[in-house]
Amino acid sequence: MGKKDAIVYNYYKRVFDDYQVLVAVNPIDFSGTELIIHPDGKVEKTDLQYDEDIADDLKVDEFQQSSPLEFNLYLKKEFFERK
């Protein structure tokens, strides 16, 4: 098991009027993934590189801590939508 396997990501979520955004952040190198869940159920995935202020930025933008289970279920859905 390598160092990368031991990383525990931080998960955040915000629900807007007609869509929601889920974010996973690697607290070591601040890389992460953003999922946008559209009203029709379509999932849009973007890999991003954040800075060390990402947790504060998400808090200011009213994101709440979220479940890794929910994030990963939508991530799997996005994966199968691409196939």
Domain count, the chain: 1
- For position 16, what pLDDT does the model report? 96
Domain that holds residue 71: 3-82
How far apart CA 36 and CA 19 sit, in angstroms, is 7
How far apart CA 59 and CA 4 sit, in angstroms, is 26
Max intra-chain CA distance, the chain: 42
pLDDT confidence tier of residue 5, bands split at 50, 70 and 90: low
**For the whole model, what pTM was predicted?**
0.88
Which has the higher per-residue pLDDT, 5 or 23? 23
